[in-house]
Chains A and B, each alone.
Chain A
Amino acid sequence: MALDREAIAHIAKLARIRVPEAELDALAGELSTIISWVEQLDEVDTDLVEPMTSVVAQRLKQRPDKVTDGGYPEKILANAPDPVAAYFAVPKVME
């Protein structure tokens, strides 16, 4: 499927990645090429095939739903680019 500028701008919005206007056409070309190439999978008959859900046959372990870690906000916040007191801070979301 060929993706046009508008489609690319929409995907960029969904992915929360700002793409400069000037790059939209080039990106549309690249992504269309890749999408057309992966569409070769349409040749494969998969009507009776179950999709893979786990690559290695194993039963996932269960564990008690208990808190086993934590209590160190200063470590959690140590890498935050713009923390406020003991919180991560973001631009205002609600008025």
Chain B
Amino acid sequence: MSQLTDLTIAAARDGLAQGEFSARELADSHLAAMEAARALNAFVTETPERALEMAEASDARRTKGEALPLDGIPLAIKDLYCTEGVMTTAGSHILDGFRPPYESTVTGQLWRDGAVMLGKTNMDEFAMGSANVTSHYGPVESPWRREGDNCALVPGGSSGGSAAAVAARIALGATGTDTGGSIRQPASFTGIVGLKPTYGRCSRWGIVAFASSLDQAGPMTRTVRDSALMLRSMAGHDPKDLTSVDRPVPDYEAALTGDIRGLRIGIPAEYRMDGMPEEIEALWRQGEDWLTAAGAECVPISLAHTKYALAAYYIVAPAEASSNLARYDGVRYGLRLPGDSIDAMYEATRGKGFGAEVRRRVMIGTYVLSAGYYDAYYLKAQKVRSLILKDFTDAFEDVDVILAPTAPSAAFAIGEKEDDPIAMYLNDVFTVPASMAGLPGISVPAGLSGEGLPLGLQLIGRPFDEETVLRAAGVLEDAAGFDARPPALTGL
């Protein structure tokens, strides 16, 4: 039955509809894969009982002729999404034992549409990281290896467990969240598709907050079509999150026409950075050629403030994080350490409960928001952010979608870059600008590095134009024909 884990969501949907297999069989094979791949540490919590219960309910619906859009599709859920009665940790010690008494809107919509939960995936603590090495529950290992080398590699981050689970064929798809690249960069590192929708496309309600003006939920899948299918269920207005927009959710799958004739693709000069590996630049040019061959027109554009996006991000995101994470005070949930006074209790709890990277960012955020520094740092960064958005808005007067690399390198080894925060932050240099502008972006696996590791290309679109992004991504995916598999799976 192992081949059931190799299906796409679209193929599984069709197979279930035609009665070739049951949701129960699909769940069983994925649960077996999850157990067999425990060494990856992709899951913080496995929920096999819930998976079987949901799968059986799905089969019962289908028997009655009441099948739902994602009925019986086994998914992994990033441990940033609150799931009712199921431990939710955000990868942090400070949420020890937290069992939300409510369900996040996005996961609630996936279950409404019949999907099956396999478990909660490991992640960087509070989604702060680009390698999934800051989790309290330990690093996640990518199922990929460099050619001729068995050294364990990072899956990227912060949605590293979700990326590893999808790449290793443990789940047909997974939810991620993207604040500065946390869906797209791990998708690039693990050879899968990751879509960050427009800010406001999905509700943030019930998703543990990191930086509220940037956080956005999105799908991680093995194909562009599968991301379109998942997004349709995940997106939509939610009265509980007023920043979620009230506009209709299109049938994203219908946007995958394969026809991009006449589409104008922007190639931003500023993304060609000093020291960028030649193989990344070559892949980017190859992407241009593929889209041109399909009838699109690639034109050079300028996004002049690109080089400042990362620095502005490392003011805005920590500032918002320092406010959001103030709620972890040892009073209402999670970890609590004793103290003689209320401040001593707060300080002890937060000193013990936050890991090094979270502590660093909360302190940076506290500093840039503190009296006397607010204008120099936070206000300045929000002004630069306006300029970054204006660059994109101007560019989209002329082009329909922008093509760029997803990440400046392939995956690296666990342990690398850990003693240099800025080197780690540079992983997100190509993903942060679109995040700062709230734009939709997708990473599509497009090729392999010289060492045999996946490399992604990124497409960025206009606000709420996920359809054009998906359509162009579908063409890129077909042209690239990426069919490499993590070495551990080649025997399947």
Taking Cβ atoms with an 8 Å cutoff, the residues of A that contact B are: 3, 8, 11-20, 27, 30-31, 33-35, 37-44, 46, 49-53, 55-58, 60-61, 63, 72, 75-76, 78-82, 88, 90-93
- A11 contact set on B, CB distance < 8 A: 363, 366-367, 370
- Pick the contact of B341 from A40, A55, A91 — CB < 8 Å? A91
Is the C-beta of B174 less than 8 angstroms from some C-beta in chain A? no
Query: Can you pick out 30 interface pairs between chain A and chain B where the beta carbons lie within 8 Å of each other?
Result: A17-B350, A17-B363, A18-B351, A18-B352, A20-B351, A30-B421, A34-B360, A37-B314, A38-B312, A41-B308, A44-B383, A49-B387, A51-B379, A51-B383, A51-B386, A52-B383, A53-B382, A55-B199, A55-B213, A55-B389, A56-B243, A56-B438, A61-B246, A79-B98, A79-B101, A81-B331, A90-B331, A90-B345, A91-B344, A92-B341
- Pick the contact of B422 from A13, A37, A41, A57 — CB < 8 Å? A37
Question: Which 8 A-B residue pairs are closest in the complex by CB-CB distance?
Answer: A18-B351, A55-B438, A51-B382, A79-B333, A81-B336, A46-B383, A18-B347, A75-B101
- B242 contact set on A, CB distance < 8 A: 60-61
User: Complex formed: what's the CA distance from A80 to B334 in Å?
Assistant: 7
Q: Please report the number of residue pairs spanning A and B whose Cβ atoms sit closer than 8 angstroms.
A: 162
When the two chains form their complex, are residues B246 and A50 in contact, meaning their CB atoms are under 8 A apart?
no
Interface residue total, chain B, C-beta cutoff 8 A: 70
**Most A Cβ at <10 Å: residue of B332, B334, B389:** B332
Indicate with 1 or 0, residue by residue over B380-391, a CB within 8 angstroms of chain A CB atoms: 111111110100
User: Complex formed: what's the CA distance from A92 to B333 in Å?
Assistant: 19
User: Complex formed: what's the CA distance from A11 to B239 in Å?
Assistant: 37
Using CB atoms, name the residue of chain B closest to A93: B342
Q: Summarize B's interface: helix, strand, loop or mixed.
A: helix
User: Complex formed: what's the CA distance from A39 to B97 in Å?
Assistant: 39
* Min C-beta distance of B311 to chain A, whole Å: 4
- A72 contact set on B, CB distance < 8 A: 101
> In the complex, which residues 298-324 of chain B have their Cβ closer than 8 Å to any Cβ of chain A?
305, 308, 311-312, 314-315, 322
Is the C-beta of B43 less than 8 angstroms from some C-beta in chain A? no
User: Complex formed: what's the CA distance from A53 to B389 in Å?
Assistant: 12
When the two chains form their complex, are residues B344 and A80 in contact, meaning their CB atoms are under 8 A apart?
no
